[in-house]
Structure 1
Amino acid sequence: MSAALRYGIQLPVQSQSTIYAEPWEAAAGPDDLLDIARTADRAGFDYLAGCDHVAIPRRLASAMSTVWYDPVATLAFLAGVTRRVRLLSHVAVVGLRHPLLTAKQYATLDHLSGGRLILGVGAGHVREEFEALGVDFDRRGAVLDESVDALRAALGPDEFPEHHGKLYDFEGLGQRPRPAQARIPLWVGGSSPAAVRRAALKGDGWLPQGDPRDRLPAQIGRLKRLRAEAGVEDPLTVGAITEPLYVGTPAWDVGRRTLTGSPDALAESLRAYRAMGVHQVQVRFRCRSRTELTDQMAAFGADVAPHL
């Protein structure tokens, strides 16, 4: 029998793009995040995820909003009130920062949380962010590729990591504390051909960016082919972002794309992801308040998850 499908959640409140934010999030804050994190910890969620944007240009603010909490600060804040749930950057735009700076931040987070970090990385898409920070937007793919290699070294076991590349060159510089984990899981985000190739050749996991169900089998097949051709034998954690969910029969309009129904019906639908070769799903619940969200999370953990 295949392993159970794991489930995680992108935190609300900390990013408020109009694509997915619920109206109640606009007035929410730290107390809401604390309650949601504690609920996830109790309800068996595999991870909490936070996004990464430094600054949003005015031309994009109406769609993306300017609410993007810093992922390291947010996940560290929530690590202190949780015990088992993992902490995922989904995704850190690591090319915006020198790898030693990124390593210092995330190694400290892993150390303080007792080894619960998953480092999700992506190329980024906001040109003005790169320009403001002096990073070449057009070469962001190459920057990310080398950043991954540099981070592998900087987050490894050595107190004095070493990396010699075209963009970054360091040795003889010590960083402590070291991560609690011997190897930080590094998941690559994105669904473009370049992102899928990067995940296949450099990642421990793949975080697709909104691929619908009908596109996933081909993407997963390509991942497997690329890894086989490169002789990569290590396991790869394949992820998916599900449709919005509502456990039970909603008494309000949750949208036509939302999966609703009994726990058994929802579990049956979600098991289709496992049949495709997906190992973990990121779930999102339609909700009108923090309380409705935490109730949905608790119901999912208690009634749906046992059937995954």
Structure 2
Amino acid sequence: MLPEGRLSYGIQLPVQSRSTLYAEPWEAAAGPADLVETARAADRHGFAYIACCEHIGIPRRLAAAMGTVWYDPVATLAHLAAVTTRVRLLSHIALVGLRHPLLSAKQYATLDHLSGGRLVLGVGAGHVREEFDALGVDFTRRGALLDEAVDALKAALGPREFPSYRGEEVAFEGLGQSPRPVQRPRPPLWVGGSSPAAVRRAALRGDGWLPQGGRRDQLPALLAELRRLREEAGIRTPAETGAVTEPLYVGEPAWDVGRRTLAGAPERLAESLRAYRAMGVDQIQVRFRSRSRTELTDQLAAFADGVAPHLDG
């Protein structure tokens, strides 16, 4: 789990996904070296995690908005694990319902093992029908498939070398999988999504919750619902709750960063971001406006040095 008693902060990496909703122009010509330097900067400046998202393929109808650049999270995070030492490695999110849970367990257990126990497995249902159609998976059952995948993954990534699980459609027993994850009893599993079904899944099956977008003023009700469902189910351990902030820029920008961007002095940003902690959020995912990799890594440093010390009041 992430550090207790303080508002942690992580980053969705640039370059690895290039949706027009958030990708900066400089990322179009960027590549592995830029990913590595960004990950190293996050590691150096105390970010809790770096995150990589998953899409198998993007149909033409969505390509203009989503782009077709989506790096594989296991390969990408494994590459970055080798050039970092501390920062956690988050799949935000992995489409584990698209494949057999034993395949996902093998990949992510190996990633946790190779990274020295730094995996956070974030999962979600997905929203692109064509991905499911191409792989022969029923899109209309993606929620049920994810529920079973989560249950099976919790068994497969647990402390037993020969895990067993029997569900409605997935069953395995007596198949040894090694290397095992370093983390015990298993790596944390966070559920992504802000729909009622996703919040319920996070409450009843997850160790944490990763909301997908949405406004700040919607968070308190969603957090209250998650806690209510968890309490009613008799789950006593709290879920690690997150939030995705508005775009940020530390300092007074000399260029147009957009009206939706929270920009200004570090103390001003910290005051605004502390509202997430007041709601009961444990970690925030931040994304910075930038015109180059250098400006981005400078922003990471400015946030860590100027904003982070004030996040707890």
TM range (shorter): over 0.9
Q: Give 2:260's match in structure 1, choosing from 253, 257, 264.
A: 257
Whole-angstrom distance in 2 between the partners of 1:9 and 1:150: 28
1:30-179 superposed matches below 5 A:
30-179=32-181
Match of 1:185 in 2: 188
> Secondary structure of 1:24's partner?
helix
Q: Give 2:302's match in structure 1, choosing from 287, 292, 299.
A: 299
Q: How big is the shift at 1:212?
A: 1.0
1:218-237 superposed matches below 5 A:
218-237=221-240
Q: How big is the shift at 1:172?
A: 1.1
Q: How big is the shift at 1:58?
A: 1.3
> Secondary structure of 1:215's partner?
helix
Q: How big is the shift at 1:235?
A: 1.7
Q: How big is the shift at 1:56?
A: 0.8
Unmatched 5+ residue regions in structure 1? Answer: none
Could you tell me which amino acid in structure 1 is paired with residue 289 of structure 2?
R
Q: How big is the shift at 1:93?
A: 0.6
Whole-angstrom distance in 1 between the partners of 2:208 and 2:81: 22
Q: How big is the shift at 1:211?
A: 2.0
Whole-angstrom distance in 2 between the partners of 1:124 and 1:272: 29
Could you tell me which amino acid in structure 2 is paired with residue 280 of structure 1?
Q
Whole-angstrom distance in 1 between the partners of 2:168 and 2:57: 27
Match of 1:287 in 2: 290
Q: How big is the shift at 1:166?
A: 1.0
Contact 1:254 1:286 (8 Å CA) reproduced: yes
Contact 1:211 1:240 (8 Å CA) reproduced: no
Unmatched 5+ residue regions in structure 2? Answer: none
Could you tell me which amino acid in structure 2 is paired with residue 224 of structure 1?
R
Whole-angstrom distance in 1 between the partners of 2:229 and 2:116: 33
**Deviation per residue, 1:168-201 (Å, 9 max, x gap):** 1111111100000012100000000000000010
Q: How big is the shift at 1:296?
A: 0.2
Provide TM-score, normalisation by structure 2: 0.97
Provide TM-score, normalisation by structure 1: 0.99
Q: How big is the shift at 1:10?
A: 0.3
> Secondary structure of 2:217's partner?
helix
**Deviation per residue, 1:218-266 (Å, 9 max, x gap):** 0001011111111110121110000100000001000001011111111
Match of 2:21 in 1: 19
**Deviation per residue, 1:95-154 (Å, 9 max, x gap):** 011000000000000000000000000000111101111111000000000000000011
Q: Give 2:206's match in structure 1, choosing from 203, 207, 211.
A: 203
Whole-angstrom distance in 2 between the partners of 1:35 and 1:77: 12
> Secondary structure of 1:84's partner?
coil
Q: How big is the shift at 1:91?
A: 0.3
How many residues in Structure 1 have an aligned counterpart in Structure 2?
307
Structure 1 segments of 4 or more deviating over 3 A? none
Q: How big is the shift at 1:167?
A: 1.3
